[in-house]
């Protein structure tokens, strides 16, 4: 079975950039499965990602049975874009209380996170500690850019460029698509 990228979206204003990411990968002829946290749906609707990916979007793991196991079996790479402080904290501490965090714990493929949040949140000790744990666990962290975020604050926390994230996802996809 050929595997494909699974992209999970968490609740950040940067979620709109993930639309471009999904579209770019699909245009290359690579299927993409999209998952969303409930909070992500407050920023962008699942219908948008369903249209871009030509696949149903997973928001609630209970709507489709043990979907986190199904997703684990189809994933060449699992990328959380954007990754909020909330989902990073869940991942680092083994909390599985939604479809995305449950899928993360089941994954056997490479996992990538692209943090996006307020600079003060990003620089906070708990977030830095959680990112350190994820790195020690083998998660690939695509560091955010320094810049102005939507609230007007400036510093690290602006999600990395879509093209950079896409390049890294595709690199791991091509290594793992046939496995």
Residues with a catalytic annotation lie at 151
> What is the C-alpha separation between 167 and 169, in angstroms, rounded?
6
Q: What is the 3-state secondary structure (H, E, C) of the chain?
A: CCCEEEEEECCCCCHHHHHHHHHHHHHCCCCCEEEECCHHHHCCCHHHHHHHHCCCCECCCCCCCCHHHHHHHHEEEEEEEEECHHHHHHHHHCCCCCHHHHHHHHCCCCEEEEECCCHHHHHCHHHHHHHHHHHHCCCEECCCEEEECCCCCEEEEECCCHHHHHHHHHHHHHHHCCC
């Amino acid at each position: 079975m050929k595997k494909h990228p699974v992209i999970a979206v968490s609740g950040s204003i940067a979620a709109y950039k993930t639309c471009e990411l999904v579209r770019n990968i699909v245009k290359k002829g690579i299927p993409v499965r999209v998952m969303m946290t409930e909070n992500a749906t407050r920023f962008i609707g699942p219908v948008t990602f369903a249209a871009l990916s030509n696949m149903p979007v997973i928001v609630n793991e209970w709507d489709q049975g043990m979907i986190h196991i199904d997703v684990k079996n189809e994933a060449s790479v699992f990328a959380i874009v954007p990754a909020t402080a909330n989902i990073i904290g869940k991942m680092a501490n083994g909390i599985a209380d939604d479809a995305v965090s449950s899928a993360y714990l089941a994954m056997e493929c490479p996992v990538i996170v692209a943090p996006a949040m307020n600079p003060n949140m990003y620089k906070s000790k708990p977030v830095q500690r959680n990112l350190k744990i994820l790195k020690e666990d083998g998660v690939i962290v695509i560091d955010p850019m320094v810049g102005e975020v939507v609230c007007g604050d400036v510093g690290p926390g602006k999600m990395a460029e879509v093209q950079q994230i896409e390049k890294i996802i595709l690199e791991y996809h091509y290594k793992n698509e046939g496995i």
